[in-house]
């Protein structure tokens, strides 16, 4: 979490697009899984904690510091996460072993009930420094606005498509390609070092059916199309490559020919 917090902090204070890209690339290249997978999800806005609410964060802070002082500070700072991060009383000795990893935060909070969220957050806030507290609170309350669009975050990465890295066009080893597709895991390109991600919706559509045959089918009344033609026009795509949508349209196509 510490490195992720530093990344968020650095992103916030780096105005240039290239600077942000460099920061993310460096982070992704040097952070192990599954930590960087969660970081990517957080940066692209795909990570949310339905049971964590800003009001819980506020209540937590008001239990630790004088509520009136807290109210004034919030008025002054204007941002809840920032206010709590700054005002949270630091324990005399911070327990480094209690600093949570992103993975720990995700697995703990995703299984937590609304009533438990505060009890999980408090010891983490005690263990983290101000930057860490700020990042944690931004993350769990879904207010992670650090000037990075999902699109920009993904530019620090490269999509693996048709067994290639789309940044350097190097062909991926079949084993790696299969692992990326199967697990959706975050992996690096051996050639350019970018983090590869896989989007199943970008698989190429099944090849167009034979044009001549399609024309003929159109010209002939549907009922007279010989049934063999249905078999011939099945695109030569292995079933595993078809996603739900393509499978549905293929079915539709086939039925329209019967």
Give the pairing type, strands 157-161 and 164-165.
Answer: antiparallel
Exactly one of 69, 86, 168, 248 binds Zn ion (CB under 5 A); which one?
A: 168
Shortest Cβ distance from residue 36 to Zn ion (Å)? 16
Shortest Cβ distance from residue 88 to Zn ion (Å)? 42
187 in contact with Zn ion (CB under 5 A): no
Q: Residue 78: which region, alpha, beta or left (left: phi > 0; alpha: psi -120 to 50)?
A: left
How many residues touch Zn ion under the rule CB under 5 A: the total is 6
Taking the CA atoms of the chain, what radius of gyration do you get in angstroms?
A: 25
- Of 187 and 214, the one with the shorter C-beta distance to Zn ion is 187
- Of 66 and 190, the one with the shorter C-beta distance to Zn ion is 190
Residue that is written with structure tokens 């045959």 in the block: 213
User: Whole-angstrom Cα distance, residue 8 to residue 94?
Assistant: 21
User: Whole-angstrom Cα distance, residue 243 to residue 229?
Assistant: 24
165 in contact with Zn ion (CB under 5 A): yes
Exactly one of 21, 122, 167, 254 binds Zn ion (CB under 5 A); which one?
A: 167
98 in contact with Zn ion (CB under 5 A): no
Q: How many CA atoms lie within 13 A of 153 on its CB side?
A: 23
Which range in 44-52, 91-99, 187-195, 205-213 contacts Zn ion by CB under 5 A? 187-195
190-249 residues near Zn ion, rule: CB under 5 A: 191-192
- Of 167 and 214, the one with the shorter C-beta distance to Zn ion is 167
Shortest Cβ distance from residue 44 to Zn ion (Å)? 20
Exactly one of 61, 121, 189, 242 binds Zn ion (CB under 5 A); which one?
A: 189
Residue 153, Cβ density class (10 Å: 0-12 exposed, 13-18 middle, ≥19 buried): buried
- Of 30 and 227, the one with the shorter C-beta distance to Zn ion is 30
Give the pairing type, strands 195-197 and 187-188.
Answer: antiparallel
SS3 161: strand
- Of 72 and 169, the one with the shorter C-beta distance to Zn ion is 169
**Residue 18, preceding bond cis, omega within 30 degrees?**
no
Report the interface residues with Zn ion, using CB under 5 A: 165, 167-168, 189, 191-192
């Amino acid at each position: 979490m510490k490195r992720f917090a530093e990344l968020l902090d650095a992103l916030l204070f780096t105005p240039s697009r290239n600077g942000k890209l460099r920061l993310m690339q460096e982070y992704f290249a040097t952070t192990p899984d599954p930590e960087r997978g969660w970081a990517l999800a957080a940066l692209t806005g795909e990570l949310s904690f339905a049971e964590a609410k800003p009001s819980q964060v506020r209540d937590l802070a008001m239990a630790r510091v004088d509520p009136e002082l807290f109210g004034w500070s919030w008025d002054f700072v204007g941002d809840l996460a920032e206010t709590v991060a700054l005002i949270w009383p630091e324990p005399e000795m911070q327990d480094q072993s209690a600093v949570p990893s992103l993975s720990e935060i995700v697995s703990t909070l995703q299984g937590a009930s609304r009533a438990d969220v505060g009890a999980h957050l408090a010891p983490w806030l005690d263990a983290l420094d101000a930057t860490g507290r700020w990042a944690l609170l931004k993350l769990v309350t879904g207010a992670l606005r650090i000037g990075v669009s999902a699109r920009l975050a993904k530019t620090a990465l490269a999509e693996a498509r048709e067994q290639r890295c789309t940044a350097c066009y190097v062909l991926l080893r079949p084993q790696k390609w299969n692992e990326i597709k199967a697990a959706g895991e975050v992996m690096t390109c051996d050639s350019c070092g970018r983090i590869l991600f896989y989007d199943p919706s970008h698989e190429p559509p099944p090849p167009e059916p034979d044009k001549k045959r399609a024309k003929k089918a159109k010209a002939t009344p549907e009922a007279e199309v010989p049934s063999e033609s249905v078999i011939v026009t099945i695109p030569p795509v292995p079933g595993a490559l078809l996603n739900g949508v393509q499978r549905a349209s293929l079915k539709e196509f086939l039925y329209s020919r019967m």
